[in-house]
Amino acid sequence: MKKIIGTLGSHCSLQVLKGAKDEGFETLLITQKKRYHVYKRFGFIDHVMLVDNFRDILEPDIQNRLNELACILIPHGTLISSLSPDEIESIKVPVFGNKLILRWEADRNLKQELMLESKLQIPKTIKSKREISDLCIVKLHGAAGGKGYFLTSDQKGFEEGFSKLVKDKIVTNENQLYIQEYVRGVPVFLHFFYSPISKDIEFMGVDRRYESDIDGISRIPSKHQFNVSIEPTYNVIGNMPLVLRESLLEGVYEMGENFVQASERLVPPGIPGPFCLEGVYTKDAMFITFEFSARIVAGTNLYVSGSQYSDYLFKNGMSMGRRIALEIKKAINKGKLGAVLT
């Protein structure tokens, strides 16, 4: 039976389904009723399944319907923020990539273990608020998209930030926070694709994020900054394109290759498909990785017609969404679909 490519209607669904259509697949969007008026405009979406809530994908009825349609589900950030790792693993519809590694993205301790196994340089973790002695970034556990993060250079600042989060009913306990060394430099997001069919790693693009309100603070003259208390937030609003100095590419490929090999050792079958290494280039052009995403990231939405890097690798404008569909097509043709699904 012909496979259909499906995904949740949010995050990067337009790019994923447009790419699938360009590779000759039928497409399916699972989305909330309130978002339908946006998605109905796009001709490359063949089937729409309307739900009240993204969590409805856990309903056996919905999963049966997806399986009847021979749907392959493409995971992205909305699946991860809507469901727990246990829930994702319980899904009985074939998922593109390794759904087991999504747990390693969601859990800070597992995440750190995989980054260390990948020989990535990572920011120092500060174990207790009493050990804060330099600028730190305090984060919430889980994929919060930068919401609720705050900076501090001492214990008092940590306690003030924590009280504010309690008042705003975001946390109840200090253990819900995670303190990390603040890395000075420029944040950069590196997009990779690993093909278990060709055994090749492809560097597909790079972006920077546009975060509110940290990226707007420089628009406020310093005399006003001093007069009002400004606590920056890191809520992602969009993404901006970037190219790297060509001499950085050697290190980029090395990090990507190490990450693929470490994933295969720690979380078999590894990382078939897209992933992103997220970090800061310091003033010495060292890349310090503060996060990874073990699936497609929304920053790839920039390159729906291909990126400066994918253009070196592919004749047709190759978005990450299209690259996923191409891998599924190649796997089907070689009778190796099992190598790209879990």
Nearer to ligand AMP, 95 or 183 (CB): 183
Over the range 100-133, which residues count as b (16 or more CB within 10 Å of their CB) and which as e? Answer: bbbbbbbebebbeebbebbebebbeebeebeebe
**Is the bond leading into 269 cis (omega within 30 degrees of zero)?**
yes
Helix ranges, the chain (H): 13-22, 36-39, 60-68, 77-82, 85-90, 102-106, 108-117, 155-167, 222-227, 249-266, 310-313, 320-333
Options 57-65, 181-189, 244-252, 260-268: segment touching ligand AMP (CB under 6 A): 181-189
Shortest distance (Å) from residue 3 CB to ligand AMP: 32
Q: Pick one of 44, 182, 253, 314: the residue that binds ligand AMP (CB under 6 A).
A: 182
Q: Pick one of 291, 298, 306, 341: the residue that binds ligand AMP (CB under 6 A).
A: 291
293 binding ligand AMP? (CB under 6 A): no
Taking the C-alpha atoms of residue 292 and residue 304, their distance in angstroms, rounded to an integer, is 22
| Alpha-carbon distance values, 92 to 16, 65, 87 (Å) | 21, 11, 10
Identity of residue 267: V
Q: Pick one of 14, 137, 188, 328: the residue that binds ligand AMP (CB under 6 A).
A: 137
What residues are paired with 28 via a beta bridge? 6, 47
Q: How many CB atoms lie within 10 A of CB 243?
A: 11
In the 8-state DSSP scheme, what is residue 155?
H
Shortest distance (Å) from residue 280 CB to ligand AMP: 5
Whether the CB-CB separation of 201 and 262 falls below 8 Å is answered with no
Options 9-17, 93-101, 153-161, 176-184: segment touching ligand AMP (CB under 6 A): 176-184
Residue 237 φ/ψ, nearest 5 degrees:
-105, -35
Shortest distance (Å) from residue 146 CB to ligand AMP: 3
Options 42-50, 61-69, 175-183, 256-264: segment touching ligand AMP (CB under 6 A): 175-183
- Contact pattern from residue 206 through residue 245 relative to ligand AMP, giving x for each residue in contact according to CB under 6 A and a dash for the rest: ---x-x----------------------x-----------
Shortest distance (Å) from residue 324 CB to ligand AMP: 22
Shortest distance (Å) from residue 266 CB to ligand AMP: 21
Size of the site for ligand AMP (CB under 6 A): 15
Give residues in contact with ligand AMP (CB under 6 A): 123, 137, 146, 149, 180, 182-183, 187, 209, 211, 234, 278, 280, 290-291
